Chain A
Amino acid sequence: MKPGGLTFHFHKVSDWAWLTGHIGYFWQLSRTHLYIALVSVAIGLLLALLVGCLAARIPTTHPPILAVTTVLYAWPSLAAFAFLLSITGPSDTTVIIPLSAYAFALLVRSVTEGINNVPDDVRIAATAMGYRSMRRLLTIELPAAVPVIIAGLRVATVSSISLATVASLIGVSTLGQLFVAGENTDFLTEIIAGVVIVAMWALVFDGLLLLSGRMLTPWARRVS
Chain B
Amino acid sequence: MRRFLLPTAIVVMVAGLAACGSSSKTSTPPTTSSSASTTAPNPSVVIGSANFPENEILADIYADVLKAKGVSVTTKLDIGSREIYYKELQNGTLNVFPEYNGALLDYLVPTATAATTSAVDVALTQALPSNLVALQASSAQDKDSVTVTSAFATAHHLTSISDLKALGTITFGGPPEWKTREEGLLGLERVYGLSIDFKPLDESGPLTIAALNDGTIQAGDIFTTDPSVTKYHFVALADPLGLFAAQNVIPIINKSVATPTITNALNAVSAVLTTADLVQLVGAVVNDHVDPSTAAAQFVQQANLG
Q: Which residues of chain B are within 8 angstroms of A189 by Cβ–Cβ distance?
A: 289
Give Cα A98 to B147, complex, Å.
39
B298 touches A10 (CB 8 A): yes
- Known contacts A171-B51, A184-B52; A32/B21 CB under 8 A: yes
Q: Which residues of chain A are within 8 angstroms of B286 by Cβ–Cβ distance?
A: 185-186
User: Taking CB as reference atom, which chain A residue is nearest B209?
Assistant: A186
The number of chain B residues with a CB under 8 A from chain A is 57
- The reply to whether the CB of A67 lies closer than 8 angstroms to some CB of chain B is no
**Chain B nearest CB, measured from A6 CB (Å):** 4
- The reply to whether the CB of A31 lies closer than 8 angstroms to some CB of chain B is yes
Q: What sequence of 0s and 1s flags, for each residue 190-206 of chain B, a beta carbon within 8 Å of any chain A beta carbon?
A: 00000000000011011
- Known contacts A8-B302, A35-B18, A185-B53; A13/B3 CB under 8 A: no
**Chain A nearest CB, measured from B40 CB (Å):** 29
A: interface residue count bin:
35 or more
**Cβ contact of B87, chosen from A13, A32, A89, A174, cutoff 8 A:** A89
A186 touches B206 (CB 8 A): yes
Q: Which residues of chain A are within 8 angstroms of B24 by Cβ–Cβ distance?
A: 91-92
**Chain A nearest CB, measured from B304 CB (Å):** 10
Q: Which residues of chain A are within 8 angstroms of B77 by Cβ–Cβ distance?
A: 173
- Known contacts A10-B295, A212-B10, A215-B5; A31/B17 CB under 8 A: yes
**Chain B nearest CB, measured from A174 CB (Å):** 8
- The reply to whether the CB of B20 lies closer than 8 angstroms to some CB of chain A is yes
User: Taking CB as reference atom, which chain B residue is nearest A41?
Assistant: B14
- The reply to whether the CB of A59 lies closer than 8 angstroms to some CB of chain B is no
Give Cα A90 to B23, complex, Å.
10
**Cβ contact of A35, chosen from B7, B17, B93, B274, cutoff 8 A:** B17
- Known contacts A8-B299, A10-B298, A35-B22; A215/B7 CB under 8 A: yes
Give Cα A180 to B80, complex, Å.
10
Which A-B residue pairs are the 8 nearest by beta carbons?
Answer: A35-B21, A5-B276, A5-B274, A31-B21, A171-B79, A186-B206, A10-B284, A32-B23
Q: Report which B residues bind A (CB closer than 8 A).
A: 2-7, 10, 14, 17-18, 20-24, 26-27, 51-53, 77-80, 84-85, 87-88, 93, 202-203, 205-207, 209, 271-272, 274-277, 280-281, 284-291, 294-295, 298-299, 302-303
